[in-house]
Amino acid sequence: MVQRSHVTYFGAGPAPLPTPVLEKAAEVLLNYKDKGIGLCEISHRSPEANDILARTKQALATLLDIPDDYDILFLQSGGSGEFSATVYNLVSIWVEKKRAKIAEEVGDNTDEVLKRLRQVVDEELKLDYLVTGSWSLKASQEASRLIGAKHVNIAADARKANHGKFGKIPSEDQWSLTPRAAGGPALVYFCDNETVDGVEFPSFPRSLEGDDAPLVCADMSSNFISRKVDVSKYAVIFGGAQKNIGNTGIAIVIIRKSLLPPHSTPASPDLLRHLNLSVGPIVLDYPTIAKNNSLYNTLPIFDVWVAGEVMSGLVDSFGAKRIGGQEEVSDEKARLIYEAIERCPDVYRVVPDKSVRSRMNICFRVNGGDADKEKAFLAGAEKKGLLGLKGHRSVGGIRASNYNAVSLNGVKLLVAYLDEFAKSA
């Protein structure tokens, strides 16, 4: 029988989880805190569930030094659901701000307010998307589906800078962000790490710095809790849990409280419908989720518990270093893999440009993408217990996902195999 200790899993998601967390999970699934029932069976309204929520929030806040003026939400939408949620919520806030400003100018003349607001929405509503890979492309397509392509500004398309393929991030002087002088976009959206294409932003974009920056929404699904993040630079951060944080089932949203009532008021559903804009489902409505402490509907508390255990483990492991400790480990593992690939340029080729190589998803080709050679590479890796290395179906090749639960020893085994295979290729 193959034991868990015999394999190292490099799959891109669902991803490996720390073995101690899984061992403890097996216990609490049967009997949680000697209650005689398992964790999946307790009420999401119970004191135990609220305690799990509080501890998980605190672990994440500690790891990332999240300021007090931010809230943490848990939703069941996954990262893809947040493609829609960010549009619904931030467009609604933008519309209401425009309506309030017009109302100040024209007074109680409702017809005139609506007439002018309709014109403003038609002419000025923009959502800026930095398309650097498959997931940001899907996010921009969802925005177009929800509010119309005329309102979606592709401020950067990495394919135009890389012969029609993803693998680079265009320099910021090539971006066409919506001018802030005109009120700015309802949001600027980017995917911090592109899981499919192995592209990661090396740092926060300079173009989005400053107090007057437009609302920034970042998909961090595959590099969440892997490096330091200045949360104060963002209005919204989200990520699916199934990469570095936990098992499939929840998305985590970090949101600036100024975007929630009573600080911000979303446009009413009637107003949005009058303007031919989408009204989002209540389970994706950030004010509703925040007001109900993520318990508006039945939250999968077990999934939150797993995430809390993973993050609490990092807090305990790295102490004062917090997420900086995990960043050091992640960087070291990525360095070892990339150096092994670069030692054998006649056999391996890293796909993305060196300036934007992901630390989390290391994408490369074998012998120029020779199908037989890549099948042989994968078969040989599997024999050595190195699993999950096949690239995404849309791009092929090899992908080693260097998530937090992948051990340094597991990476060293992969490095040894890379060297061994290169000698026989």
Tell me the pLDDT tens digit for each residue of 324-372.
999 999 999 999 999 999 999 999 999 999 999 999 999 999 999 999 9
- How many whole angstroms separate alpha carbon 158 and alpha carbon 161? 5
Amino acid at 343: R
- Among all chains, which residue has been given the structure tokens 């200790």? 5
Phi then psi for residue 225, to 5 deg, are 45, 40
Give the mean pLDDT of 37-56: 96
Give the mean pLDDT of 171-175: 97
Render pLDDT for 186-207 as a digit per residue (tens, 0 to 9): 999 999 999 999 999 999 999 9
Give the mean pLDDT of 121-132: 97
> 336 CB contacts (<8 Å, ≥6 apart)?
411, 412, 415
Render pLDDT for 363-403 as a digit per residue (tens, 0 to 9): 999 999 999 999 999 999 999 999 999 999 999 999 999 99
- How many whole angstroms separate alpha carbon 78 and alpha carbon 345? 38
Whether 414 contacts 337, CB under 8 Å: yes
Class of domain 322-424: alpha beta
% residues pLDDT > 90 (the chain): 96
Mean pLDDT of the chain: 96
What integer pLDDT is reported at residue 296 of this predicted model?
Answer: 97
Confidence of residue 211 (pLDDT cuts 50, 70, 90): confident
Confidence of residue 269 (pLDDT cuts 50, 70, 90): very high
Ordered by start, the domain boundaries in the chain are 56-303, 322-424
- How many whole angstroms separate alpha carbon 165 and alpha carbon 181? 33
Phi then psi for residue 119, to 5 deg, are -70, -40
pLDDT of residue 23 exceeding 90: yes
What integer pLDDT is reported at residue 196 of this predicted model?
Answer: 97
Whether 133 contacts 193, CB under 8 Å: no
Render pLDDT for 224-267 as a digit per residue (tens, 0 to 9): 999 999 999 999 999 999 999 999 989 999 999 999 999 999 99
What integer pLDDT is reported at residue 274 of this predicted model?
Answer: 95
pLDDT of residue 181 exceeding 90: no
pLDDT of residue 77 exceeding 90: no
- Among all chains, which residue has been given the structure tokens 């216990």? 27
pLDDT of residue 137 exceeding 80: yes
- Among all chains, which residue has been given the structure tokens 């403890």? 24
- How many whole angstroms separate alpha carbon 247 and alpha carbon 372? 33
What integer pLDDT is reported at residue 2 of this predicted model?
Answer: 86
**pTM for the whole structure:** 0.97
Is the backbone peptide bond immediately before 14 cis, with ω within 30 degrees of 0? Answer: yes
% residues pLDDT > 70 (the chain): 100
Burial (CB count <10 Å: 0-12, 13-18, 19+), residue 26: exposed
What integer pLDDT is reported at residue 331 of this predicted model?
Answer: 98
- How many whole angstroms separate alpha carbon 228 and alpha carbon 133? 22
Give the mean pLDDT of 73-91: 96
Q: What is the CA radius of gyration of the chain?
A: 23
Confidence of residue 214 (pLDDT cuts 50, 70, 90): confident
Please list, residue by residue across 365-389, b when 16 or more beta carbons sit within 10 angstroms of its beta carbon and e when fewer do.
bbbeeeeebbebbbeebeebbbebb
Neighbours of 1 (CB within 10 A): 3
Indicate the CATH number for domain 56-303.
3.40.640.10
Give the mean pLDDT of 215-228: 96
- How many whole angstroms separate alpha carbon 348 and alpha carbon 182? 48
What integer pLDDT is reported at residue 38 of this predicted model?
Answer: 97
